[in-house]
Copies of this chain bind each other. A is one copy, B any other.
Amino acid sequence: MIAGNFIGNTLSFSNGERFKTLNPMNNSFNEIELIEATPDEIQNTCLIAHKAFPKFNATEPKKRAELLLKIAQLLNENSTELLHWYQLESGLTEERGKIELQRTILQLEDFSSLISKENWKNSHEKSEGSLNDLTTQSLKKIKQGIGPVLVFGASNFPFAYSTIGGDSVAALAAGCPVIVKSHPFHAVLSYKVAELVLKAGELTQMPNGFFSHLNAFNHEVGKLLVLHPAIKAIGFTGSIKGGLAIRKLSQQRPDEIPVFAEMGSLNPIVLFPSAIESKKDIQEITSKLAQSITQSSGQFCTKPGVLFLIENDSTREFIFELTNCIQHSPSSSLLHPTIAENYNQLRTQIEKIPTVTKATIDSFSTNSNVGHPQLSITDASTFLKHSLLQEEVFGPHCALICCRSFEELFNCITRLMGQLTVSIFSKETSSKEFSNLVDLTMQKAGRIILNGVPTGVQVHAAMQHGGPFPSSSDTRFTAVGTDSIHRFIRNVCLQGFE
């Protein structure tokens, strides 16, 4: 089988570069061959999305709600095949795949409910005014899609943040046609999901061009898409480097379009002395933390990458237990050899800082893509001196920073760049130190967690997934939950109509 590009409903086969995806568990190529989209195909895709926009935007929100439910249904019905490819292309477990697929389906259902609400489209109204008003005409402000949205598939969420993940579903719900540039790591899964989305579109009579799907092995496809005048917004989830590159490229456009990039985070954990007063506390917290750091090989944007604690009598036991838990956490392959290479390079660089101790030992493995869980331990002054320790290490790594005082801890937090989350573990919540820390972290992060871990992002309107730069490119928006629809909505005021 050869997988072409979906230019709207049309499956196109060109002379573009052929490529295959890699199974990171054994470094073998997967069966299906994909064809990279050519400049002509990209142009046609953008034009068809541009043409579809007014039609798709004008569909009743309830019709689009049906589309989303139909997609959810088809994902469910085809879960066996999808999960097969999910594992082959990501090396993630079936169990993780099932959770992620359920989350993706939940997202589709949530947005479907949102836009099914009677007056969803209506933002505000004002009836005809008096002569004191600047105009006596009535005003009615209604929601519109912003235009065709380009979505970059994410390497670490083949379901929930890729083809029909959070960005795509928010854009479709808003009334925006979507063009997915699939992630080359899981291009076959993406292709198969796209097939289902298009089938759902056919069954619910959506206009041709409401959804397109392009294969890309090189950066060129993304570049041409970012610069195309038909594209009116961009959604990206990935590294700071990737997000900033897209942002920079988009600045070459003659117009300005919103680029929402969720670019990862250190997700600092702050451990207050009151949290680890008993052996039981220590066991519970270290077990939770180790799981949060190592699950899915630490390949979450919300993985805790740094942990601050204040040294005292309990500290040594806590560190011993955490090291033990991390050391004994199962290790599995990372998403791709390039991810494994980056992971090993970064953690080795950190290890080489003279005042950093590597507390864990790599286990033996025949698979060079395995991400060995690692805990690095150092002090506050090292953290303050080395910007390397503020870089996200994508994989099961965490740096533990031993502070001698609350003041040192506070200095470290003050110097943190913008984060998606900060977690605070503390039994007491009435001290001056606690409230000062909460106040400070609220300026640093989009979500503050008390006595919990940052992984396991609840899909809900009350969720905030997006924090100050560089954790996301626009801290005013969220990438998770129904509020994320506002990234792709503009309002139009109708004055004097009816």
Contacts and interface: CB of A to CB of B under 8 A. Distances in A.
Contacts of A255: 418, 469-470
Most buried by B among A53, A446, A486, A492: A492
A133 interface: yes
A257 B491 contact: no
A53 B440 CA distance: 11
Contacts of A135: 452, 456-458
A125 interface: yes
A32 interface: no
Nearest to A480: B493
A4 B474 CA distance: 35
Nearest to A457: B134
A288 to B, nearest CB: 11
A458 B496 contact: no
Contacts of A461: 123-124, 126, 141
A136 to B, nearest CB: 9
Given A124-B461, A462-B140, A452 B495 contact: yes
Contact of A458 (B58, B134, B464, B489): B134
Contacts of A251: 251
A125 B140 CA distance: 28
B258 A129 contact: no
Interface string A415-444: 000100000000000000000000110110
Contacts of A256: 247, 469-470, 473-474
Contacts of A137: 449-450, 452
A252 to B, nearest CB: 11
A299 interface: no
B496 A449 contact: yes
A443 B176 CA distance: 12
Interface in A444-498: 445-452, 456-464, 468-470, 473-476, 478, 483, 486-487, 489-497
Contacts of A457: 134-135
Identical copies in the complex = 2
A140 B462 CA distance: 6
Contacts of A339: none
Contact of A447 (B450, B468, B474, B492): B492
B492 A458 contact: no
A169 interface: no
Given A475-B490, A486-B476, A141 B464 contact: yes
26 contacts: A53-B443, A54-B439, A103-B134, A124-B460, A126-B458, A129-B458, A134-B458, A135-B452, A135-B456, A139-B460, A141-B462, A141-B463, A141-B464, A141-B483, A256-B470, A258-B474, A446-B490, A447-B495, A448-B494, A450-B494, A450-B496, A452-B496, A463-B493, A464-B491, A476-B489, A483-B491
